[in-house]
Amino acid sequence: MSRTVLACLVALVLTGCSTGVAGSPAGEQRASGPLTAENAFGDLRRIDPCSLTGPFAFEEHGEARMPAKVTMDECLVTVDVDGDEVVVELGLLQHVDALPSGREEVAALDGNASIVRVPTQVTSNCVMALVFADDVAVSTTAEPELVDTVPKETLCALARAGAEGIAEAARTNLVRHWEPPTNSLARVSACGLLPPDQVANLLGIEPERVNLYPSEHQCRWGVPGGSTPTAKLDFEVGADPGKVGVAHRTPAEDIAGRGTWLVPTDTSNITVCTVVTEHIPFALQEGEREYAVIRVAAPTTTGADACGIGRELATVAWTKLPAAG
């Protein structure tokens, strides 16, 4: 076992950890006053998602497998529940008004914060969110590796435990930050890569229909499920292009000087195009790489060319990405 992994395992007893770049906690002094994401987390772009909680949060329900897998915005913790594996994804920051309606408060917390249950169309999971006083929410999703192997109430207990663990880390200033390389996508604001007027013109929507996620690693244009096309630009992490939606043997083409994959996917009522370019190694976890990903979704009734729109968006966005070399 490497010294880095051993050190992480020790640190995880308190705060959680990921292999890679060491983080810097804000300290263990308990915060007072309103519990806000800004006060609890500081620089939202550089949060180490696996510092938001640790295995202690889940010990009542099962054994958490550490170190966990980390992405730009989430930590994926696998919990063994009586021999069945449940993956708890935690850390995604959203503005509370971007969450689905019909949320149910399950716990009121000090500092004008709360934990809510979030409705989901996926019957095999349970989603909770810690809602801060400044209307920023951080989600936790519990889903079994094998469908229907773990009772819903257990999944919800795990999701709630994750949210409670995040609240405790926030109150005690234990959240760590990592130092991305100067050319990491973590330092880039996703919405800043594309002019809103140009995106709106291509999609046929109003320019103000833009949603920048609090960490700024994701940006969405348009309203999903509507009658007009939508676009989303994400900074994602994966061991290979297949992990971010590129099918095996998909040929690459050159867009703005960068190797790019375009992957169309059609259903009876919607056409989707995923546009992907590879960037640099992801410094927070060994063996992973950063990717910039554009996804365009268009109802078939619009007759829009999703990959044509995606190609035009990538032509603009890729020129603004930091150099990969």
pLDDT tens-digit profile of 271-298? Answer: 999 999 999 999 999 999 999 999 999 9
- The pLDDT of residue 235 is above 80: yes
Whether 66 and 201 share a structural domain: no
Tell me the whole-structure pTM to 2 decimals. Answer: 0.87
Say yes or no: 215 and 273 in one domain: yes
- 277 shares its domain with 308: yes
Same-domain check for residues 39 and 115: yes
Give, to the nearest 10 degrees, the angle between helix 196-203 and helix 306-317.
Answer: 170
Q: Look at residue 31 in the predicted model and tell me its pLDDT.
A: 53
Residues 13 and 155 in one domain: yes
23 has a pLDDT exceeding 70 = no
Question: 128 and 218 share a domain?
Answer: no
Q: Does one domain contain both 132 and 226?
A: no
In a domain, 160, yes or no: yes
| Domain co-membership, 216 together with 91 | no
Q: pLDDT tens across 31-71, in order?
A: 568 999 999 999 999 999 999 998 999 999 999 988 789 99
Task: Please identify, among 177, 199, 225, the residue that sits at the C-terminal boundary of a domain.
Answer: 177
**Same domain? 120 vs 164:** yes
Domain presence at residue 215:
yes
Q: Which domain holds residue 144?
A: 3-177
Residues 21 and 81 grouped into a single domain: yes
Selection from 39, 32, 220 nearest residue 136 by Cα: 39
Does any domain span residue 258?
yes
Q: Is residue 142 part of a domain?
A: yes
Q: Provide the number of structural domains found in the chain.
A: 2
Whether residues 196 and 166 share a domain: the answer is no
Domain closes at, from 177, 209, 238: 177
- Measured over the CA atoms of residue 247, residue 250, residue 253 and residue 257, the dihedral's sign is positive
Do residues 30 and 95 both lie within one domain? yes
Q: What is the pLDDT of residues 128-157, one digit of tens each?
A: 999 999 999 999 999 999 988 899 999 999
C-alpha 270/C-alpha 222 separation (Å) is: 15
Tell me the pLDDT tens digit for each residue of 3-12. 333 333 323 3
Domain assignment present for 85: yes
| pLDDT at residue 18 is higher than 60 | no
C-alpha distances (whole Å) from 45 to each of 38, 156, 214 are 11, 28, 8
Which amino acid would we find at residue 10? Answer: V
Domain boundary among 114, 143, 177: 177
